[in-house]
Amino acid sequence: MFIQIPRGTYDVLPEDSSIWQRIEETARKVCALFNYKEIRTPLFESTHLFQRGVGDTTDIVQKEMYNFKDRGGRDLTLRPEGTASVVRAYVEHKLFGLPDQPVKLYYIGPMFRYERPQSGRTRQFTQFGVEALGSKDPSIDAEVIALAMTFYRTIGLKKLKLVLNSLGDPESRAAHRRALIDHFKPSINEFCEDCRNRLEKNPLRILDCKKDHDHPLMATAPSIIDFLTEDSRDYFEKVKAILDEMGIAYELDPTLVRGLDYYNHTTFEIMGSSKGAISTLTGGGRYNGLVSELGGPETPGVGFALSIERLLLALEAEGISLNNEASLDCFITAIGEKARQKTPVLLHKLREAGLSADKDYMDRKVKAQFRQADRDHAKFVVVIGDEELAGDAANVKNMADGSQEEIAFSALADYLKSKIK
Q: pLDDT tens across 270-320, in order?
A: 999 876 566 899 999 999 989 999 999 999 999 999 999 999 999 999 999
Decide if pLDDT at 210 tops 80. no
When pLDDT is averaged across residues 140-155 and rounded to a whole number, the result is 98
Burial, 337: exposed, middle or buried (Cβ in 10 Å; 0-12, 13-18, 19+)?
Answer: exposed
* Rounded Cα distance, 151 and 160, in Å: 12
The pLDDT score that the predictor gives to residue 388 is 93
Q: Model-level pTM?
A: 0.89
Rounded percentage of the chain residues whose pLDDT exceeds 70: 98
Decide if pLDDT at 416 tops 60. yes
* Rounded Cα distance, 60 and 334, in Å: 57
* Rounded Cα distance, 177 and 159, in Å: 35
The pLDDT score that the predictor gives to residue 10 is 95
Per-residue confidence band for 201, with pLDDT thresholds at 50, 70 and 90: confident
When pLDDT is averaged across residues 393-411 and rounded to a whole number, the result is 96
Angle between helices 138-155 and 308-317 (to 10 degrees): 50
Decide if pLDDT at 258 tops 70. no
Domain ranges of the chain: 14-169+229-317, 330-420
The pLDDT score that the predictor gives to residue 94 is 97
Per-residue confidence band for 202, with pLDDT thresholds at 50, 70 and 90: confident
Q: Cα 395 from chain centroid? A: 46
When pLDDT is averaged across residues 137-166 and rounded to a whole number, the result is 97
The pLDDT score that the predictor gives to residue 162 is 97
Contact 87, 301 (CB under 8 A): yes
Judge: domain 330-420, CATH 3.40.50.1820.
no
- 14-169+229-317 is classed in which CATH architecture? 2-Layer Sandwich (3.30)
Decide if pLDDT at 22 tops 90. yes
Whole-number average pLDDT of the chain: 93
| DSSP code, position 121 | B
The pLDDT score that the predictor gives to residue 259 is 55
The pLDDT score that the predictor gives to residue 297 is 96
Q: Which of 55-64, 118-127, 203-212 has the highest mean pLDDT?
A: 118-127
* Rounded Cα distance, 375 and 297, in Å: 57
* Rounded Cα distance, 19 and 408, in Å: 38
Residue 171 DSSP SS3? helix
**CA-closest candidate to residue 27, choices 112, 132, 154, 131:** 154
